[in-house]
Structure 1
Amino acid sequence: MSRRLLATVAVLFLTASCKLPAGDPGGWTADTKGRTGLSKVPATDLGFVRHGNTVDWPAASDWVPPGSGLRALLPTADCVLALGDYQNGHRAVTANWTGPSTCDRLRLSPAPDRSGSSGDGPPDAVGGWPGGGISADAAIVQPDGTILAAASDGLSAYRNGQRQELARADLSTVGFEGNGSRSLVRGLARTNSGRIIVNADLTTSIGPPPAVLISGNGGRSLRRADLPAGPRSDSRQLLAVLAADGDTVVAIGYGWPRVGAWRSSDGGRTWEVSTIDGLPQHLMLTRLVRAGGQWLAFGAVDRTEAGEQDAPYVLTSADGLTWKPGGTTGMGAGRVSDVTVDQSGTVLVTGVIDDSRPGADDYCGVLWAGDGSAPWQRGELGCSDSPPQAITTLRDGRVLIAGNRDVWLRG
């Protein structure tokens, strides 16, 4: 199997050997400079400080399989609530992490129970820790602090440790290679008026255009809304990314070289459609944000077949319907893992690349800062088995990056 990253919402890792000392900024050494042809700048030059080995490891063993671990950061009053999973020796179970107000470490909350047969342990143990916390395939923090979560069984709301079931829906399908089941939820957005839009892979046969699920009553019920037909309407349509700004909702389809772009200016009541042409082969869009008066979609072009590193890709749009390639000058190689917009309006993007040094068996993290038009500033986050998987802007304006072992914090 290729050592490339394999998922659209979580950065995937294989076992690694490179370790960085606590407090090391994760800069590059001279022997790696030639890999992308760019001058390597440590992330400290962009204001970030690395706190090494400060994230509770998401497994009972020393190995985390692809797709596991900390995957999303939700800002809370003190720090963040991180969502992901934990390998208990038998299977992946729900796991959450929380941090103190300093936000320089993340601890599993609840912590694994290692007492008796109910604890996590190796495969020959009985049971295994069942996990705990919020289970979600997509989640957002609402203005009142309530966490809205979408999963394969529908919507739920979490506040002060209490879970409230909202609309129920079967958003699952048979798992890969017929094993178990997997969720169809791909994204979640909320408009200023409180309407909720769920991006789920609802199109299960050839022909229909994409559809979303919409709630106009705070998530208590969901209705299906078929989007207008876009390009290639005779083939199966999927939405790659979806986001909201005010009461405007924008979505972009998956594929190449021609995909649909959809916009609703009234919270999902009515939709317009356009097409995006000339997209490169093997493009996967994974994030969509609004910043600086424009929409920016991020992804990467998989260049595995050419034996090259993946290349980041940016699309920009003023209105959410007419799109053009954005600037990638200064980005170099890397696959986008997550995106946030800080309080100044700067877009901060995390990414991961293979470490191609002789004998290396790990990944290297990268950070890009910019606006999608001018050249990007690039900062290096170092190489390890657990480079950055998620980034968010905290309520007090600080920016937090986290992987399965380390956090990077900018005050």
Structure 2
Amino acid sequence: MRRPASVLTALTSVGLLVACGGGPPAGRTGLGSVPASDLGFVRHAGAVQWPSASDFVPPGHGMRLLLPLGECVRAIGDYQNGYRAVTANWTGDPACDRLRLDPAPDGTTNGGDGSPDAVNGWRGGGISAQAAVVERDGAVLAADDAGLARYRGEARQELARADLSTAGLEGQGSRSLVRGMAVTSSGRIVVDAGLSTKDGHAPVVLRSDDHGASLHPVPLPSDPGAAGPEGSVRQVISVLAADGDTVVALGSGPGRAGAWRSTDGGRTWSVSAVTGLPPQLMLTRLVRTGGRWVALGGVERSEQGGQDDTYVLTSTDGRTWRPGATDGLGAGRAQDVTVDRSGNLIVAGMIDDSRPVVAGRRADYCGVVWIGDGVRAWKRGELGCGDAPPQAVTTLRDGRVLIAGNRDLWLRAAGVPGAA
């Protein structure tokens, strides 16, 4: 299972097979799978400005976040400038059928690889974030390896500062530890930066009661049942989300994970256990819809010779969890999720290594979209195959749904029937 820098997403019709240069592995589609166009999605090929000075973008890089702003989006990610990855943003006009780098590369890249400290190449620009939310007044609250910042248009306001970074791989400088952020209805902010208590056994989140001006560590209770035969094990958060003043966080296995809940905006927490989880599970998204919490993640099947698939958990209270519906999912790992105006979940995902691996040939991916609610059977649509799978999805302010990767985007008009 490929792990992107942030967190991550089989064709049936002849026309799509020709257009995308190949179909999914035999038998990998979901039962009742259809072209994504049958679910209302219109593909705009080549509509996303490529995030690299070369023809290659490492898996998980490029576009990471889609934030609904104005009549389109602000997309946040990185750009490979020939020397290193730099901050990159994309914007679009009201039609939102094309996304262009904004600011755009200035032509200073010369290609080649260099030290991560090199000053050569385009320096990027825009909002820097590993996690971000759009606030009620349209400002963007962003969390990155230096702490919190608030953006109003192009104006940046520094908020709480914190070193939330760690050394990256050799030659890759540092990388951010920020993995998620939740904002409550009262404006309290909770950030997951992968921190732990001094003994390393329980998670620690960062909390702000002053709209981001300061951040304070809050240790979470440990799950005593997670202790193995040799004592306690390190417990970490995989996903967190807020609904009202309730904040929920989940870990990921193997076999067992912690479920943390706060009903006072992250000040105090309780813990429960989620058991019976599959091995090699990594949860990547958590949302609230239809009176329930729904968590999505991927299960690696490569050791068994299979494709990764998506796992679903649901809960009404954030404490007790049970497996959600998987009927109709088929092969593919969830990349991102949004809730449309009807309350349906729209999940963008992918199948990686969709054809046999051959030395010297770039990996191929197939994109997929699922529509459901976590309880009933999912509707599945095929997005096509190529070298740049769908990476993010969001619901625009006018109700349209946008899925985007590093090359293509897909738009669904507002009011298209969902899972019901």
TM-score (normalizing by structure 2): 0.89
1:227 alignment partner AA:
L
1:123 and 1:33 mapped to 2: Cα distance?
Answer: 38
Query: Partner of 1:378 in structure 2?
Result: 380
- Structure 1 equivalent of residue 110 of structure 2: 121
2:326 alignment partner in structure 1: 328
Q: Could you tell me how far 1:236 is from its partner in structure 2?
A: 1.2
1:11-45 C-alpha deviation (Å, 9 max, x unpaired): 49xxxxxxx9999986986x855334634310011
For residues 96 and 18 of structure 2, the distance between their equivalents in structure 1, rounded to whole angstroms, comes to 18
Q: In 2, distance between residues paired with 1:290 and 1:210?
A: 22
Contact 2:32–2:328 (Cα < 8 Å) also in 1: no
Per-residue displacement from partner, 1:222-247 (whole Å, max 9, x unpaired)?
11101112142512111000000111
User: What letter corresponds to residue 194 of structure 2 in structure 1?
Assistant: D
Q: Per-residue deviation at 1:259? A: 1.2
Contact 2:197 2:219 in 1 (8 A): no
The CA deviation string for residues 155-185 of structure 1, in whole angstroms up to 9 with x for no partner, is 0000021000000111112224696322111
Partner residue, 1:9: 6
Question: Is residue 355–residue 383 contact of structure 1 (8 Å, CA) maintained in 2?
Answer: no
| C-alpha spacing 1:10/1:237, structure 2 compared with 1 (3 Å) | closer
Q: 1:63 aligns with which of 31, 42, 56?
A: 56
Greater mean deviation of Cα atoms: 185-194 or 252-261:
252-261
Query: How far did residue 354 of structure 1 move?
Result: 2.8
Counterparts of 1:250-265 in structure 2, within 5 Å, are 250-265=248-263
Paired residues for 1:296-375 under 5 Å: 296-354=294-352, 356-357=354-355, 361-375=363-377
Is 1:398 equivalent to 2:400 in the alignment?
A: yes
Residues 284-341 of structure 1: CA deviation (Å, up to 9, x unaligned): 0000000110000000110111110001100000000000010100100111100000
Aligned to 1:203: 196
SS in 1 for 2:331: coil
Distance of 1:37 and 1:101 partners within structure 2 = 34
Q: Closer, same or farther in 2 for the Cα pair 1:382/1:303, shift >3 Å?
A: same
**Matched AA of 1:74:** L
Which residue is 1:83 aligned to?
76
- Identity across the alignment (%): 62
CA RMSD of aligned residues (A): 2.4
Q: 1:26 to 1:296 in 2, by over 3 A?
A: farther
Q: Could you tell me how far 1:201 is from its partner in structure 2?
A: 1.0
3-state DSSP class of the match of 1:208? coil
Is the aligned partner of 1:292 residue 2:285? no
Residues 63 and 124 of structure 1, relative CA distance in 2, 3 Å threshold = closer
Match status 1:162 vs 2:162: no
Aligned residues: 396
Which segments of 5 or more consecutive residues in structure 1 lack a partner in the other structure?
13-19
Give 3-state SS (helix, strand or coil) of 1:249's partner: strand
Is it true that 1:215 corresponds to 2:204 in the alignment?
no
Kept in 1, the 8 Å contact 2:355–2:364? The answer is no
Q: What code does the residue aligned with 2:96 have? A: C
Partner of 1:16: none
1:232 to 226, 229, 233: 226
How far apart are the structure 1 equivalents of 2:295 and 2:403? 20
Whether the 8 Å CA contact 2:7–2:284 is kept in 1: the answer is no
CA distance in 1, matches of 2:48, 2:276: 41
TM-score (norm 1): 0.91
Counterpart position of 1:17: none
Task: Find the aligned partners of 1:377 and 1:27 in 2 and give their Cα distance.
Answer: 24
Structure 2 stretches of 5 or more lacking a match? 414-420
